[in-house]
Amino acid sequence: MTDSPAYADAYAECARIVQAGDPDRAVSVGFAPEDRRNGLWALYAFASETAAIRDHVTQPLPGEIRLQWWRDRLEAADTDVEAAGQGAPVATALIDTVRCYALPVDAFDRYLAARIFDLYSDPMGDRPEFEAYAGETQSTVVMLAAMILDRNEAPKAADAAGHAGVAACAASVVRDAARHRARHQVFVPADLLTATGIDASGWLVGGAPTEPVRQGLIAYAREHLQKAEAAVGKLPAAIRPALLPALFAARSIDRENASASEPIRRLWFYWRTMRR
């Protein structure tokens, strides 16, 4: 069980990782029932660690090996938890969570397959390809969180999760543009680049000529955010905490200029969304 004292240290490490590196998700966990928080810590720590693999490798192959390691751990989830986790706290906690909540391993597999794109410098395809990538990464985490919160109600979150994932992913492309350029990565949908008269190489150069692309991404994110927020208002409160981080990330698309008031704005937005 996720509240087992045997795994307390593993879950504590997951909480530490999320609290240190992902404040949007960390604060959202406080809006979940106490008995579901360990599962969310494990899921979000896994998401943080796998999303950051590119930060820790200089070539794609070591990154692919790391992603395969996670697949192997999840495929062993039906065996002894500690043995399957190989002593890694996040893996141990995640495997325990997968077993406790009967989470679909194939969803994790699709998530890990999508993360392979992060390891290379191939340009993103058109918007349908971008939305598929966002769906398998951002939206998948939202849906898995909803399953942890309430398995019976979780399917109702699918539409909101889909739009919120695309909005949050587009927001991250705006906020992380400098980091992506340093790696020669282009996450901007190709058809959005074409519509603004900029090609992939032009986006990588940056500067004033790329401002129309940035504005196009912001408009694209807000279009999906509007649809996600309309859907969230119809969801049971039990599963809304799963949507909070993606919604706030999209709302704060210009967070590169975030002010000291952001923690207050985040908390206020979460509280208001939960009470809708």
Residue recorded with tokens 């049971």: 236
Q: Looking at residue 76, what is its pLDDT?
A: 79
Q: Which two tokens stand for residue 5?
A: 């004292």
257 has pLDDT over 60: no
Residue 12 lies in a domain: yes
Residue 112 domain flag: no
Asked if 160 and 205 sit in the same domain, the reply is: yes
Tell me: do 42 and 173 sit in the same domain.
no
Query: Quick one: pLDDT at residue 87?
Result: 76
Residues 32 and 5 in one domain: yes
Residue 99 pLDDT more than 80?
yes
Residues contacting 205, CB < 8 A, separation 6+: none
Question: Taking a C-beta distance cutoff of 8 angstroms, is the pair 126, 191 a contact?
Answer: yes
| 9-22 pLDDT per residue, tens | 999 999 999 999 99
Question: Quick one: pLDDT at residue 7?
Answer: 86
- Residue 91 sits in the same domain as residue 218: no
- In this structure, the answer to whether residues 68 and 190 fall within a common structural domain is no
| pLDDT-above-90 percentage for the chain | 86
- Condensed to tens digits (0 to 9), the pLDDT of residues 37-86 reads 999 999 999 999 999 999 999 999 999 999 999 999 998 766 666 666 66
Could you say which of 71, 103, 135 is where a domain stops? 103
Q: Is 221:174 a contact under the CB 8 Å cutoff? A: yes
Note whether 172 and 243 are same-domain residues: yes
Q: Are residues 238 and 276 in the same domain?
A: yes
Whether the predicted pLDDT of 3 surpasses 70: no
CATH number of the domain bearing residue 135:
1.10.600.10
Q: Please, which pLDDT band fits residue 256 given cuts at 50, 70 and 90?
A: low
Residue 115 covered by a domain: no
Query: Do 137 and 247 belong together in one domain?
Result: yes
Q: pLDDT at position 98, please? A: 94
98 within 8 A of 77, measured Cβ to Cβ: yes
Q: What is the mean pLDDT of residues 250-254?
A: 86
pLDDT of residue 63: 97
Question: Per the structure block, which two tokens stand in for 163?
Answer: 């739009």
> Does 132 or 58 have the greater pLDDT score?
132
Residue 106 has pLDDT above 70, yes or no: yes
Per-residue pLDDT, 75:
86
Mean pLDDT of 223-249: 96
Across 203-214, average pLDDT: 94
Quick one: average pLDDT of 82-103? 86
- Is the model's pLDDT at 254 over the cut of 80? no
How many independent structural domains does the chain possess? 2
What pLDDT does 77 receive? 61
**Domain range spanning residue 184?**
121-276
Q: What is the 3-state secondary structure (H, E, C) of the chain?
A: CCCCHHHHHHHHHHHHHHHHHCHHHHHHHCCCCHHHHHHHHHHHHHHHHHHCHHHHCCCHHHHHHHHHHHHHHHHCCCCCHHHHHCCCHHHHHHHHHHHHHCCCHHHHHHHHHHHHHHHCCCCCCCHHHHHHHHHHHHHHHHHHHHHHHCCCCHHHHHHHHHHHHHHHHHHHHHHCHHHHHHCCCCCCCHHHHHHCCCCHHHHHHCCHHHHHHHHHHHHHHHHHHHHHHHHHCCCCHHHHHHCHHHHHHHHCCCHHHCCCCHHHHHHHHHHHHHCC
- Cβ 115 vs Cβ 53: under 8 Å: yes
Same domain? For 82 and 173 the reply is no
What global pTM score does this model have? 0.94
